[in-house]
Structure 1
C-alpha cells in the first residue's frame, strides 16, 4: 500500500469543552497517512496523478478553523470524512494531537483509521 503522509500539520483553532477554551485559539497537530497509488505519478513524473499534500493541508486547515469544535474526536472524524469524500482517499489514518490539554502530560491525542466500503 502506497501512502502520502503529512506529519505535524499545525492548526490554530478554537477547540475545547471549557468556557475559557472557547475564547482562545489552541494549537492542534495532525499526523495523517493516506493510501494513494503513487505509481502513475512517479512513472510519468506527472503532478496531475499525485495527491497534493499542500492542497490537502490547506483544505484541512480551512475545514478545522471554519467553526469552533469541542472534541478532538470530532476533528479526527471531520478530517477523515473530508479526505475520503473530497480527495477520494480510500484509506486514512488520522491522529489529532492537543499538547498541553492536561497539565501533567506533554500531549493527548486520538487516532482513527477509516476506509471506504466497497
Structure 2
C-alpha cells in the first residue's frame, strides 16, 4: 500500500519529562503522523465513514498524551503507535514526536518511529 493520511504539526500541551519540575508543568509536544490507509475506498464513495478520520485521530492522540504523562518521548511514541494501530486499524505508521525548547540551542528534539508493514 502506498496511500497514507497525514497529520502534521499537531501541538499538544502535556506533562512529559524526567525531572521533578517537568512533572509539575505542561510542555508543548508536536506530533507528525503518516498513517497507511487505502484511500481508494473513500475516494470512490466520498463518504467520511470510509475514511481515516484525521480529526478523531488527532483528538485521541491529544487525549492519550495528556492522560499518559510519560517521562520519555520514546515511551510516548511507542504508546501512541500501539493505540493508533489498535484503535484505528492502521497497518503502518511513521510517527515523529518533538519537544520544542527542551534544548535551548535546538529548535526541537525528538524521536521518529515506524511500525507495521507498508
TM-score bracket for the superposition, by shorter chain length: over 0.9
Between the aligned partners of 1:44 and 1:85, the Cα distance in structure 2 is 24
Q: Which residue of 2 aligns with 1:56?
A: 57
Between the aligned partners of 1:63 and 1:106, the Cα distance in structure 2 is 24
Render the CA deviation track for 1:49-107: whole Å, top value 9, x for unaligned. Answer: 10000000001111111132100111111111011100000000000000110112111
Q: Which residue of 2 aligns with 1:90?
A: 91
Count matched residues. Answer: 116
Between the aligned partners of 1:67 and 1:39, the Cα distance in structure 2 is 34
Q: Which residue of 1 aligns with 2:15?
A: 14
Deviates further, 28-37 or 41-50:
41-50
SS at match of 2:55: helix
1:101 equivalent to 2:102? Answer yes
SS at match of 1:103: coil
Runs (5+) with no aligned partner, structure 2: none
Runs (5+) with no aligned partner, structure 1: none
Between the aligned partners of 1:22 and 1:47, the Cα distance in structure 2 is 39
Structure 1 residue ranges, 4+ long, deviating more than 3 angstroms after superposition: none
Between the aligned partners of 1:104 and 1:42, the Cα distance in structure 2 is 44
Q: Which residue of 2 aligns with 1:76?
A: 77
